[in-house]
């Protein structure tokens, strides 16, 4: 890791760039860039992120990143995680592609892809559409002899007012 950091530092200085310039261009924190140059693995995040940081740093200072990434992979120390209290979930079989982005993604994942969870999404949408269609069909009805219902005219009713024993006819009213 020290040799990688020295190579990147020399390339940065040769291009006349400061750490701040590289941090602005790569959007990698200044502390992480300084840790890469110093070869301080303890100050760096997980190996997958460190790999991305080294790649971005190398591109920013004009160095071919693949050689540095190979060197980083050879000097990588295995990470030993403490044993957990519960039994670990079985991992699906992984492809043996060394140091590919898929390899690191599988190491960081829980072993189950989102595609298995999303399998029922389209089926659920179709089910909702069918239920809505059936509800609309039952509300409107499908009987051919039952046409559209319109209001039927009613017979007019005469109004009579009675005040003081005298009845007067006012007029016709449709009720």
Per residue in 33-91, pLDDT (tens digit) is: 999 999 888 888 889 999 999 999 999 999 999 988 888 888 866 555 455 555 555 55
165: pLDDT strictly greater than 80: no
Lowest mean pLDDT among 37-51, 92-106, 107-121, 142-156: 92-106
Q: What is the pLDDT of residue 138?
A: 86
Higher pLDDT, 17 or 95: 17
Which of 1-10, 49-58, 61-70, 159-168 is least confident?
159-168
Q: How far is the C-alpha of 71 from the C-alpha of 64, rounded, in Å? A: 12
Rounded distance, CA 174 to CA 27, Å?
Answer: 80
- Residue 127: pLDDT band by 50, 70, 90 thresholds? very high
3-state secondary structure the chain: CHHHHHHHHHHHHHCCCCHHHHHHHHCCCHHHHHHHHHCCHHHCCCHHHHHHHHHHHHHHHCCCHHHHHHHHHHHCCCCCCCCCCCCCCCCCCCCCCCCCHHHHHHHHCCCCCHHHHHHHHHHHHHHHHHHHHHHHHHHHCCCCCCCCCCCCCCCEEEEEEEECCEEEEEEEEEC
Say what the pLDDT of residue 139 is. 84
Residue 115: pLDDT above 50?
Answer: yes
Q: Which residue has the higher pLDDT, 168 or 133?
A: 133
pLDDT interval class at 17 (50, 70, 90): very high
Mean pLDDT for 109-134 is 74
Q: How far apart are CA 141 and CA 146, in angstroms?
A: 9
**Is residue 72 within 8 Å of 50, Cβ to Cβ?**
yes
Can you name the residues that pair with 169 across neighbouring β-strands? 160
Q: According to the model, what pLDDT value does residue 74 have?
A: 86
pLDDT at 137 over 70: yes
Could you tell me if 14 and 24 are in contact, meaning their C-beta atoms sit under 8 angstroms apart?
no
Between 30 and 166, where is the model more confident?
30
**Residues sharing a CB contact under 8 Å with residue 28, sequence separation 6 or more, in sequence order:** 22, 53, 56, 57
Instruction: Tell me the CATH number for domain 2-74.
Output: 1.10.260.40
């Amino acid at each position: 890791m020290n040799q990688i950091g020295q190579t990147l530092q020399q390339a940065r200085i040769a291009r006349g760039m400061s750490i701040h310039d590289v941090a602005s261009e790569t959007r990698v924190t200044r502390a992480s860039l300084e840790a890469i140059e110093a070869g301080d693995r303890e100050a760096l995040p997980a190996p997958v992120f460190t790999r991305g940081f080294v790649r971005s740093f190398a591109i920013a200072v004009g160095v071919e990143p693949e050689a540095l990434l190979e060197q980083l992979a050879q000097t990588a120390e295995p990470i030993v995680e403490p044993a957990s209290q519960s039994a670990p979930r079985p991992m699906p079989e992984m492809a043996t592609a060394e140091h590919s982005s898929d390899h690191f993604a599988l190491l960081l994942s829980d072993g189950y892809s989102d595609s298995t969870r999303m399998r029922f999404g389209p089926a659920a949408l179709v089910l909702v559409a069918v239920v809505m269609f059936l509800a609309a069909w039952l509300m409107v009805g499908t009987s051919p002899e039952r046409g559209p219902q319109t209001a039927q005219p009613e017979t007019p009713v005469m109004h009579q007012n009675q005040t003081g024993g005298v009845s007067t006819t006012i007029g016709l009213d449709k009720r």
